[in-house]
Amino acid sequence: MKNKITIKTLIEMKERGEKITALTAYDVQTARLVDEAGVELILVGDSLGMVVLGYENTLPVTMEEMVHHTKAVVRGTERALVIADMPFMSYQTGVKDALVNAGRLMKEAGAHGVKLEGGREVLPQVETLVKAGIPVLGHLGLTPQSVHQLGGFKVQGKDQLQAERLKREAKELEDAGAFAIVLECIPAILAREISESLTIPTIGIGAGPYCDGQILVTQDLLGMDANFKPRFVRRYVNLHQIITQAVKEYITDVKMQNFPDEKESFSLSDSVNKTQLYSGGDSKDENS
């Protein structure tokens, strides 16, 4: 049995100076892959609206969609801590709505905690959820649910007034009970100051190397979208090219009648069980 990652694990990692790794997942197969690879935290982000569902931004994502995808990720995870995003307007409307919707993500979907965006304006929600036993991951800087208010996807905290506000709100989130804070698209030096001022971990995305951990959208680091490459993303493989080429080869094989061949077809005398059918086994099972 793999050692389960808990909130205490992440706090202890910060104390030791050990970096935390986090990635997104929206389905069971991706969850299995990143969990087996060893990330400590899997975020079921409302970014699924853009990455999976094709929305222009995260605003249209619903609670039903978040519950649906979180369930799948939880089923594919054995070790990592699974945190689910609270979608737009599932918590901004007050502490009661926040409690009910966060409860759904915990009870129905099996998440280990929730993430919500914002600083001082969401402190009552954070305090209420924590008192109810629901772990909360904070999120400051570029908060995608406020994209229209922020005037687009822009780096935050570049002037002194913004920087001081972010530092103050990070401390307030810690005091309210958040177990960690995502810092998105802020200057590296500011992220360093915030990280050093807190006892809880910071997890950066576009926030430089000084955060206590890093998170990326898994599809971005895998190069799934040839046209999308933010400055803060490092592509570790070009799956867009690999997958496209594989599909082209499949199309050619079908049209040239090279697929399926004899080994990939069944005869009247074949009798296989389910395991052999889906594992590529070719042994006979007369009792199936």
Q: How is residue 278 written in tokens? A: 């889906």
Report the binding-site residues for 3-methyl-2-oxobutanoate. Answer: 46-47, 85, 115
Report the binding-site residues. Answer: 46-47, 85, 115, 117
C-alpha to C-alpha distance for 54 and 210, rounded to whole angstroms: 32
Q: Is 184 an annotated catalytic residue?
A: yes
Report the binding-site residues for Mg(2+). Answer: 46, 85, 117
Q: Is 105 helix (H, G, I), strand (E, B) or coil?
A: helix
Residue 229 Rama label (left phi>0; alpha psi -120 to 50; beta) = beta
- Kind and range of the H or E element at 41? strand 41-44
User: Which residues does residue 43 pair with via DSSP β-bridges, in sequence order?
Assistant: 24, 83
C-alpha to C-alpha distance for 155 and 158, rounded to whole angstroms: 7
CB-based contact 52:69 (threshold 8 Å): yes
Q: Which of 164, 184, 249, 262 is catalytic?
A: 184
Residues with catalytic roles = 184
